[in-house]
Each structure stands twice: as C-alpha cells, then as structure tokens.
Amino acid sequence: MNENDTHYKKIRILFLSANPKGTKKLDLDKEFSIIQAIFDNAGSGDKFSLQPRLEASVSRIQQYLIKYNPQIVHFAGHGDDSIDTGIILFQDSIGKQEPVSKESIADLFRILNERKNISDKDKIRLVVLNACFSEELSTEIKKYVDCVIGMHNQIDDTAAIKFAEGFYLGIAQADSVQTALELGRNQLELLNIPKEYMIPGIAVREGIDPKNITFVVSNGNLKYGQSVISNNVGPAVKFEQNIKVAKEKTTGGRKVKIHKGTLDFNQKIGEARGDVTGLDDIDID
C-alpha cells in the first residue's frame, strides 16, 4: 500500500487560508497548527488526513478540491460585507484580494457533489467557514453539503482560532457535528471571550440532523467481535455505532450474519456487503 492509498482510507480535510494585502493580519499558520495538533493527539486522530493550502487563490480552488477530494473543507481567513454579505476573500499570485461571490462558491460545491463518478462517502459533507460574515454563504452552500459552519458577525482572530480548536476536538474524538459546534462555542465561553461564543452557527441541508453526522467511530467503542463497515457516509445515513458481526458461522466459516443496528435503509445493502471483504455470503437482518 502506498502513501496515497493510506491517505484515501482516511477522512480528508482540506485547509484553505488567505490573508491578502490590505487586510488585517491573521495568524492562520497558528490556526492550522492547532488543528493539526488536535488530530495528532486525539484517540481517533489517525483516521484523518489534514492537507493545508495556504495563500489560496481563486484560480486554484477547483484544482485543490478535485485533487484532494476532501470530505471536510475548512476556510480560514477574511469575510467581507462591504460589497455583499457572504463574500470571502482569496488572494491572487501577488497577494491582492480576490473576492468571491457566495453564488459561485456554492455552485462549485454543487458541481463537485453531483459528479456521477463520486461515491457518497467521498462527497464533501462538512464545510467550515472560519471567517467574518460568512453565515449567508453557509446558507447557500448547505443546499449541496450536509453541514456548513458560518459566522453571523465579525469574529476576532483569537476567538476564531479557539473556536476551531474546540470544534475539531469534537470531530477528532468521533463526536457529532452538533456536539463539535457546541464544544467550539463552549471553548469561547470558558475563555470568557465576550459574546463571541454565539457567533458561530450551523446551516444544514434539508433532511439532515447534525446530531447524526459523525465521521469516524471512536477506537474506544470497538468491541470484540465487531467491525466497522463504513465511516458514516451518505445523506441521511448514520453509522454512529458499529455494525455488529455475530459469531454465528456455518460450516467452514463462509457465512456471517450481520445485525442491521443503526444502518439506515437509505444506504444500499450492496454497499454494506461490498465493505466486508473475504466473505462469500452475508445475510443482513
């Protein structure tokens, strides 16, 4: 197995940042380093792959998203409400501002998630817009992505970093997106950052409950005789618990009985079978 194969077996996070000339200097390197440290030290952190693309430009955004095919996209930088609420700022090759409309960014996520050659488990499922005034953009993107974190006002650089720290602590520990949001907000409360703990909000796609969206199963939840079939993939599908593999086997051990558990029938049974390798015959009840 090469390094690329290992990368694609993990939940992929693309960290995009931009701090163009003429804007307040943000400590975006620190934000990335803190998030990376969270995954390095978390019990389930080895199940994630964090890829940074700093000083991101509009001309490269499509390439980054297609190349790394992330399930989570994090943008750290500036939002701007002087032109139109929901604008986020990228930077060009000489560091100048590149404002991008919320409609064009949302349409990019639509195109990527509607590709016929992409499976449910490889779609972008979470976008974090850690930038001021990004709430309106989040409501546009959520038409095509399960969950989008956005800021409904201006947020201080320190607060943005501390929110990201609490949020990804939840994600890395196999908590739900809703719990991760609450941990991020609570981090700001604990640090007594006035009123800013309510600035981060969440927009969700129709039919999605952020309490049911997790990306990995905690190593601590694995029990003898259980196996993980999937990483909670697909719309309206929750694999919060492992699919339980019973010990009942027929002669020769060629048939295994799987109890449905929390497997949503919206997930194709064939996908579940396809994720259990080395078995000729599987019953799901």
Among 170, 193, 212, identify where a domain stops.
212
Which domain covers residue 90, as residue numbers? 3-212
Domain assignment present for residue 121? The answer is yes
Tens-place pLDDT, residues 3-38: 455 556 899 999 999 999 999 999 999 999 999 999
Tally of domains in the chain:
2
Among 179, 212, 245, identify where a domain stops.
212
Residue 81 and residue 118 in one domain: yes
Residue 63 and residue 204 in one domain: yes
Tens-place pLDDT, residues 153-204: 999 999 999 999 999 999 999 999 999 999 999 999 999 987 787 899 999 9
Residue 242 and residue 269 in one domain: yes
Which has the minimum average pLDDT: 118-132, 213-227, 254-268?
254-268
151 and 134 in contact (C-beta within 8 Å)? Answer: yes
Confidence of residue 85 (pLDDT cuts 50, 70, 90): low
Domain assignment present for residue 217? The answer is no
pLDDT at residue 7, as a whole number: 55
pLDDT of residue 64 exceeding 60:
yes
Query: What would the two tokens of residue 242 be?
Result: 């492992």
pLDDT at residue 104, as a whole number: 94
Nearest to 170 by CA among 39, 56, 261, 28: 39
One-letter amino acid of 36: Q
84 and 101 in contact (C-beta within 8 Å)? Answer: yes
pLDDT at residue 211, as a whole number: 97
pTM metric for this prediction: 0.76
